[in-house]
A and B are shown apart, each in its own frame.
Chain A
Amino acid sequence: ENSPAPLPERAIYGFALFLGSWFGFMLYLIWAYVPETWLFSLGLTYWPQKYWAVALPVYLLVAIGIGYILLFGINMMSTAPLNSTHTITDSYAKKQQQKKLQEEAIPALRDIPISEVNRMFFLPEK
C-alpha cells in the first residue's frame, strides 16, 4: 500500500539526491571562481563561458519575479467579466435532468436557478 512512512529505499534516494546536489553546487563554485588557466593546466578545457555563471542565476531570479506578475495577470484575464453568462450558469447546469421527487428521501442534488435563489434570499417570506 502507498504510505508516506519512511522506508529504506526512500532514505537511499534522499541521500543520493543530497550528495548529488552538493556535488553540483561544488562544481558550480569551482567553475565560477577558479581561474581558467588553472583549470586548463589540469587538462579540463571544455567548460561553458564563465559569463553564464552570473547570467543564469540572474535569468532565473528575473523569471521568478516576472512569473509572479504573469500569474496574477493570467488570473485576472481568466476571470469571467461581469456581463458573461458564465457567472450564472454553465453547460452542465443547462443539461441537467429533473429527477422525480420521492417521498421520505433526500432530494437529489441539482443546480438551483439564480432567480429562485434570489427570491429565497431577498424577498420576505409571505
Chain B
Amino acid sequence: ERRFRSASGQPIALRRRQHSASCRELAVRCPRLQLRSLSAVTSAVWLAAYGLFALSENSMVLSAAIFITLLGLIIYLHFVKVEQESLLVIGSLGIQVTSSYASGKESTTFIEMGRVKDVVINEAIHMQKVIYYLCILLQDPGDPEGISEVVPLFQSSKPRLDCLIEVYKSCQEILEQRTAPRVE
C-alpha cells in the first residue's frame, strides 16, 4: 500500500493486488471523516439554532436543529462520503468499478471488454482547476474507431498524477494482452 495525495491535498492510499496474470485490483482509499470537522459543523448548526431560538423564543427550533443534524449526517454518510474506490481489471472479461460509502453501501458498475477501447489519463477543467483524471473510453461494438462514451474513475478521491500513472501502467499491462499475439 502506497501513500499519495489527492488533488485537494488530502492523503489517500493506493493498494494493488495481482490476483492472476490477467487480473488486477487497484483500490484507492479516501481519508476517513474527521472528528474535528464533524464537531465543527455540528457546533455551527447548533449555535445558529440557539441564536434563532434566542430571537424567536420558539423551542421547536432547537429540536429541529438536532433532527436536521442527525438526518444530515446519515444522508452524508450514505450518499456522499466515499470510503474506497476500486478498479478490478480482468483481462478477457471486463472492468469492474466499485465505490464503497462510509455507511457500508457499495455501488458497482461492470463494463465488458468488448466495449472498452482504452484506459487513459485525461486532463480537463473542473471548477476552477485543471485536474488529471483517469477515464475509461468506451466504443460501440460496431464502430471500433469512434469513442462513444467517457467514464471518469476515482471521482471522489481525485488522485494526483503520480498515483494515476501507477494505476495507468497497471491497467495498460493487462489491456496490452488483448491485442498482443499470444506467445506459447
Contacts and interface: CB of A to CB of B under 8 A. Distances in A.
A122 B120 CA distance: 10
On chain B, which size bracket covers the interface? 20 to 34
B152 A122 contact: no
Given A87-B150, A88-B147, A89-B147, A118 B120 contact: yes
A114 B155 CA distance: 20
A80 B126 CA distance: 9
Nearest to B122: A87
Interface centre among B120, B125, B135, B168 (most CB of A within 10 A): B120
A83 B120 contact: no
28 contacts: A76-B127, A79-B125, A80-B125, A82-B124, A82-B126, A82-B135, A82-B150, A82-B155, A83-B135, A83-B151, A83-B152, A85-B150, A87-B150, A88-B137, A88-B147, A88-B150, A114-B120, A114-B122, A115-B117, A115-B120, A118-B121, A118-B168, A119-B172, A121-B121, A122-B165, A122-B168, A122-B169, A123-B169
Interface of A: 76, 79-80, 82-85, 87-89, 94, 114-115, 118-119, 121-123
Interface of B: 117-118, 120-122, 124-127, 133, 135, 137, 146-152, 155, 165, 168-169, 172
Given A83-B149, A85-B148, A118-B121, 19 more contacts: A76-B127, A82-B124, A82-B126, A82-B133, A82-B150, A82-B155, A83-B135, A83-B152, A84-B150, A85-B149, A87-B150, A88-B137, A89-B147, A94-B146, A114-B137, A115-B117, A118-B118, A118-B120, A123-B172
